Chains A and B, each alone.
Chain A
Amino acid sequence: MKDTVLRTPLKAINWSRLQDDKDLEVWNRLTVNFWLPEKVPLSNDVPSWATLRPEERELTIRVFTGLTLLDTVQNTIGAPAMMPDAQTPHEEAVLSNISFMEAVHARSYSSIFSTLCLTKEVDEAFRWSEENPHLQAKARLILEEYKAGSDPLKRKIASVFLESFLFYSGFYLPMYWSSRAKLTNTADLIRLIIRDEAVHGYYIGYKYQRALEKLPEARQQELKDFAFALMFDLYEIEQKYTAELYDGIGLTEDVKAFLHYNANKALQNLGYEALFPPQACEVNPAILAALSPDSENHDFFSGSGSSYVIGKAVATEDEDWDF
């Protein structure tokens, strides 16, 4: 009489009964932002790719295989590992979206490769990614926290650091090329990835903060200490990884400022204060402009731009505004 055995009922997800409004808000944001690499005309970058020197091409392919590895980890291990920790069924659904988009990101780098590069060059770079000790070390450090049985909150810390910090030694390069009017379509695609990662880091960091506030103070302090210690360890590796990649074109120091700036933002996603002082985070303005193009500075206090500029028309939800 198996059917009569009392069991916990299996529950279907009901999006009309939310326990946390942030789940729907982020679900909507992610689904509206959905994209595929086919949307970006990468082949327009073929002439530009030909203007790069061989060592610049090799660097670019290596950077992209490094990014592919992190996306693969997050797609197949990171996001799924957080699902059993979810506090709401809607959080699990959001994580399944995050997981899938990481697969899209990983797939996108191969679209870039197949459009711009020779198979031999790409194969070599994938081999490099398997043999590079720094790249392997940072991925392994994250995977350590993703293991079954590890602390769910430490898993979220590791995940936010992957999404909001570890990608940026790589994202720097397409932003740099774009600031020099090279590989601009590739940069458009990378900006779509950067936008997604920002939502992922924000959301996982938000869930971390919700769980943290329920814990006793001693435990909160333990997790904060863990977060800063992990950041230090990852930063150590990132420094070496960055130097190995960028010393050849003399950009290491410029990339490091970008790393510091993003490390601080990753910590802010977890609700923590900055680690690196402002003078260590002075990112090259050309890189910042490449990150958010067309978002020219209208700041009144900063004194840049014309003095009393009223914002230009922006797509908005007019029906929600009565006036």
Chain B
Amino acid sequence: MGTDFVVLSLVPLAIGILVCVSCALLGNFLVLRRQSLIGDAVSHVVLPGIVGAFIVTGTVAAGAMLLGAGIAAVLAVLLIEIVRRVGRVEPGAAMGVVFTTFFAAGVLLLEQSDTSSVHLDVEHALYGNLESLIWLAGSAGWAALLDPAALAALPPQLPRLALVTFAVVLFLLVFWKELVIGTFDATFAESVGARPGPVSFALIVMVAVAAVAAFDAVGSIIVIAMFICPPASARLMTDRLVPQLAWSVVFAVVSAIAGYVLAGYGPLWLGAAYSVSAAGMIATVAGLILALACLAGPRRFGTRTAARRRRPPPRRASHHQSSISNSLQV
């Protein structure tokens, strides 16, 4: 049992957790900036870049993939601007058209190219391939974790995602004040020289890096759930930013573990013969957590409007009333 777990499940589980945590951390700022769909957009747009990079280089090396994804993202931004100006449509429509077109082009490229030698096909692009990231060298069981030769044979996605998660944490620590000020009040941020423009751009770049790194594990569709569900659930748990980030990490880890276990064993418990997609189940669990947070999260019961109406702070009660009626008139 232990050996089976180490060979088959340890690495996919670790990768799933890293993907969920890195995406969730960045997702907090996407949700607060009301840019949740940026994660969606980025993950769609990078697909033709990833496929294109494979076609050109013949490998699924991380550097080539990131470069391809970056080129695709720049092209997409240019195209959105062109569609918006020439087509005279609103920005949302221009984005919608460009993202879906890019994604469709990526799928077409995938179908037309010979990618049978690597894990790169349409199914993979849709729901990733977490289950296949097994660690054959781990056959010694837990002892393999201390064996340098076995460690060297770890799937490369694991160290890559560990690095990306580390980079995300570092990014948040280094630019914390700038991210917070720019998210809350961009005009004030500009006035004090907190450079909200470059910081938001850096945030989007980090989102793209996380999305590309997550591609192997969860594909480019389900990753959206990883960006949005844990932070959105966490937002319903607290009114402070740092606790919100902590909650989002907890929800991300729970989604990854519960989703992976349920996908692997759930159908067997129910009498089905095959397990289901781990990435799909992780996203489903993340969605269920969000539903639960909506129904029962502390903020559901109103820490603001309801509280203000029901029990105004005793000392300033009359003042409160007048200010509310005042603001209604204006």
Are both chains from one complex? Answer: no
Residues of A within 8 A of B (CB): none
